Amino acid sequence: MWLALRPGPPARLLVGVDDDTLKWTADPLGVVRWQQALGVTAVRVWAPWHGEARPTGAALTELARTEQAAQRTTVVLAVFGFARDTPTGGRQARFCGYVRRALALVPDARAVVIWNEANSRTYWNGTPAQYEALLARCYDMVHRRGLTVLDSTASAHAPEAFLSAVGRAYRASGRMRPLVDAFGHNPYPASAGEAPAAAHAAGFIGEGDYARLVDVLRSAFGQAPQIWYLEDGFQSAVPTRLRSHYFGRENVRTVSAAQQAADLGDAIRLAACQPDVRAFFNFELVDETRLAGWQSGLIWRGVHRKPAVRAFQLALRRAASGCP
């Protein structure tokens, strides 16, 4: 039934970061050069959607900067809002039209993600069948040669049950075209300090549960998938000497900078050894300033490199030639 996905031989792993810095500066190519100096050759950029029919105002500027970057590096454009913005019913055509217009402004984008973590109530306030309908509508509107269309699921919030339900809706629709070209998944660990290869019970799919993810995708959609890990990250504790660059209080357990580096290196190497995985993105490049946010970047606030930079570079070089 699903004719578009032909995995073929294992491809070199695409390794990048999730980072919006380039769209917030008048010198996006300067950010690209900085990223590339760190070994980063791909970036996922968020294009927020809150019901607009087309990009206007600041969004036009941000997308223009993203296109400048896309001419020099691999850009993945992720278009989504939050649960309150969920495009169901008549809003689906509006959302997909926005995605099409955004891509027209970033024609050199390598891939586009249709919403984010659709199995999480933080981002999606609809049913799996409504997400299937959104994927189908957007795929038909935006798919073109050279562009990879992706969905997105989270490691928590019962991804197996959600994907199975999306698959049932797909089969019931009688649709012969695909919904996506590859499947996006965010395989965050269940807790800080947990090894990337850790296995979990049903209801959670981390990186160590790769075989279960492949099984549910094959069962739901009838063919071996291509998988992109669109977000993963390990939060490191902020040293006292750099606390002035942050504010607020930490709200989760963190690991040492050395442990973050080890976990990140292990995660990239593991992804490179999983045959159907085609990409791995670290969330994020630079820590968030809010301690209640994410401190899983390669760089401390204040532009200080973490040990994770070296681990990222080494794992990237090893992954370039396949499973290390």
Q: Summarize pLDDT for 169-180 with one digit per residue, the tens.
A: 999 999 999 999
Section 1-27 average pLDDT: 73
Position 258 in a domain:
yes
Q: Summarize pLDDT for 50-85 with one digit per residue, the tens.
A: 999 999 999 999 999 999 999 999 999 999 999 999
Position 242 in a domain:
yes
User: By residue range, what is the domain housing residue 204?
Assistant: 14-319
Position 9 in a domain:
no
CB neighbours of 49 closer than 8 A, spacing ≥ 6? Answer: 79, 80, 81, 85, 87, 95, 98, 99
d(CA 95, CA 99): 6
Position 235 in a domain:
yes
Q: How many Å separate Cα 104 from the centre of its chain?
A: 21
Position 66 in a domain:
yes
Give the per-residue pLDDT at 34: 93
pTM confidence score: 0.95
The position carrying tokens 């670290």 is: 282
Identify the burial level of 64 via C-beta atoms within 10 angstroms of its C-beta, where 0-12 means exposed, 13-18 middle and 19 or more buried.
Answer: middle
pLDDT over 70 percentage in the chain:
97
Q: Summarize pLDDT for 225-255 with one digit per residue, the tens.
A: 899 999 999 999 999 999 999 999 999 999 9
Q: How many domains does the chain fold into?
A: 1
Instruction: Judge contact between 51 and 82, C-beta under 8 A.
Output: no
d(CA 165, CA 62): 35
Residue type, 67: E
pLDDT above 70: residue 205: yes
Give the per-residue pLDDT at 190: 96
d(CA 39, CA 221): 35
Burial 280-318 (b: 16+ CB within 10 A, else e): bbbbbbbbbeebeebbbbbbbbeeeebbbbebbbbbbeb
Q: Summarize pLDDT for 298-318 with one digit per residue, the tens.
A: 999 998 999 999 999 999 998
Give the per-residue pLDDT at 253: 94
Give the per-residue pLDDT at 324: 76
Structure tokens at 122: 């933080």
In this prediction, residue 6 has a pLDDT band, given cuts at 50, 70 and 90, of: very low
Position 54 in a domain:
yes
| Residue 32, domain CATH | 3.20.20.80
* Torsion (CA) 277, 140, 166, 180 in degrees, nearest 10: 0
Position 4 in a domain:
no
Give the per-residue pLDDT at 1: 39
d(CA 209, CA 187): 9
Position 58 in a domain:
yes
